[in-house]
């Protein structure tokens, strides 16, 4: 009888040691979870930048439509002079107070860049803002007709993305 009790106690003692995780096993699990979390965070940051660039492309398309409606109503679009630049007029940046004010509320709310930190000439390092310029005929790298250059700075490619449209004239 005493022998049975001793055997049962020894079996219980052996089972107690086999029921938990070792420190090494716990450390491996923690390291794996850390690696997965780091991969997820990196992937999430890229997703945010791509999403903001998608919003920018959609906004530029909307601004382009508003400019074409303005041109249909007024026979051209306005020149800008809010930023010095080279040549006639100047760049109009979404971070500035005069961002396409000539469109007013007639053509809907004019969007601004989601980050909107640009403060310099878009041909240099524009920062993150939308930009607009109406080139008179034969001006700059565009064809020898009046043109509007509209664009934004892409966070994903770190380059300016332009949308050029021909207009009747720069008013």
Query: Where are the chain's structural domains?
Result: 25-166
Tokens of 45: 């940051």
Choice between 43 and 2, residue whose per-residue pLDDT is larger: 43
Closest CA to 162 of 171, 90, 148, 137: 148
Residue among 94, 102, 84 nearest 170 (CA): 102
Specify the DSSP class assigned to residue 111: P
Q: In what order do the strands lie in the sheet with 92-93?
A: 92-93, 131-135, 147-153, 160-166
For the cut 90, the answer to whether the pLDDT of residue 144 exceeds it is: no
- The whole-number average pLDDT for the span 128-138 is 81
For residue 113, how many other CB atoms are within 10 A of its CB? 24
For residue range 77-90, what is the model confidence (pLDDT) as tens digits?
Answer: 888 765 444 444 56
- What average pLDDT does the structure give for the chain? 79
What pTM did the predictor assign?
A: 0.70
User: Largest Cα–Cα distance of the chain, in whole Å?
Assistant: 110
Residue with tokens 């080279």: 86
Q: What is the pLDDT of residue 68?
A: 93
The DSSP secondary-structure symbol of 120 reads: S
């Amino acid at each position: 009888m005493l022998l049975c009790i001793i055997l049962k106690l020894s079996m219980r003692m052996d089972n107690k040691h086999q029921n938990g995780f070792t420190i090494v096993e716990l450390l491996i699990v923690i390291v794996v979870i850390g690696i997965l979390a780091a991969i997820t965070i990196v992937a999430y940051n890229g997703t945010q930048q791509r999403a903001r660039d998608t919003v920018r492309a959609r906004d530029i398309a909307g601004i382009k439509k508003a400019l074409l409606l303005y041109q249909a109503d007024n026979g051209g679009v306005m020149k800008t002079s809010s930023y010095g630049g080279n040549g006639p007029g100047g760049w109009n940046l979404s971070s500035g107070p005069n961002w396409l004010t000539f469109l007013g509320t007639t053509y809907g709310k004019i969007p601004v860049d989601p980050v909107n930190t640009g403060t310099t000439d878009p041909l240099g390092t524009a920062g993150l803002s939308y930009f607009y310029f109406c080139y008179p005929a034969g001006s700059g790298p565009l064809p020898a007709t009046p043109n509007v250059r509209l664009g934004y700075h892409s966070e994903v490619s770190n380059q300016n993305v332009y949308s050029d449209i021909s207009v009747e004239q720069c008013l």
